[in-house]
Structure 1
């Protein structure tokens, strides 16, 4: 059954109780969005144009960068409009599209980060068999599984969420349309939706994170067995960027989707949700470029080729 509020859309409260903070957040979000666009586009271009980056690691990284571009674009423009002016409404259709894309890409990132952890595990723990195990066909299969699982998750969870009997005030105490916020807006029975959210959190957050932690436990033991300090630094260097991204992403996801039900946690969850939607996609390319010699070398080669072509 549909609900009476759906044709009228919703009111995104965001941080409207702190009007002074909204102007500051507008500048922060805009800056982060521009960094996301430039940084992730650069990583995709380097991964495609530089032959030395035609490896499984950068194939998955370019997938992550493309995902982050779509992820932020699905919500940041609407967020900037709401932060800048008094109009904070979103149509029911706009909320539906935002929820569908946000759920799909968020779930895809959970799986994709797990796939990247598996890639790093094989690279460090079974280096002699890496090319045999992580071959191009498997890379495409794993990436396809990540994207399809994200799509399936959204197809399963979006319709029940949008069919909730929403309260007449239509006020979403958040800056975007997310499942926890829409469940809180309901004036009816949400037990099914809460069970669905809990099950999806286990499947897409708890299990993948457990797999990542197990993988890095094995990687840590393998690194400690390496005799040379140079070898240990190289092995750690291949994993440190991904590990930092995992920590940033999963800490914010857990704070948003696995938080207790109380006003303090809800308010804190909005800030973590903002970081989850805007912060991590802008930091990911910085982490991978600043801490990765191969990416920095590829960027210098690209600039060198551009200068050479202009001189000729």
Structure 2
């Protein structure tokens, strides 16, 4: 499998994030990418850094005002008297409000859904490099290769067109899907992360040309709480082009694979001619978030089910946090996918 990863992605290294009212060590740390990269190298996968940065592909998905915020927020924030070294919002508008603030404090609340997307001085370079990996993988598939894997970190599927959240800033899976649309009339995104891909859903919710399917822990009692419920099916031209398959907390391989089978039937009936796999490894039983109980063999079978679609495929890394089995789970998934 051709893999894309850049060491620039390691520069984003937030120390803490706010959870349940307390500052905790941030699990979205550079070491998780290093562990995945080392496992890929040991398994014989080819790893290359993406060449350059394609802002056009990013701008095709993300709002320019939001991109300007990401580029300028840290400098403007740290210029404020008494400000922290990390951009963390302390106010969120209910319903986004009617106006757009000039203050970076207000803009942080407007463009950051929660306190789990801290922004440091070196974060932007890493965020762009992560998107570049998805762009490189999509480019390779558009050039005729059957598949490619983007080791994206920070992840992306909680990022909306104009809002960060849940460790995510740019929606790498959505960027890849939009690129595939230049050659494919219908594209599907299949998200197998522990958490619902709410940003991805939001980006395509009113479109009928990109199907979004997500298998995830039931958000009634789990992040992201406000999105990911089974009755969310898309609106307008996108009605019927969104499928959420929430699972009870603690569900294991059998339940996950049964739900995935329903999702893949939808992909086939939708008529997608290319797919993006938003690959989370945090559904693992031993993941720090402990929401589901998928095993290493489960990831192999998930990969096999997706590989059997035999469609041009861009695999984009989403969640999956430090535990001894993290790299093995990725290698198992790719082995299953490649058959």
TM-score (norm 2): 0.27
Higher radius of gyration, 1 or 2: 1
More strand by percentage: 2
Higher relative contact order (CA 8 A, sep 6+): 1
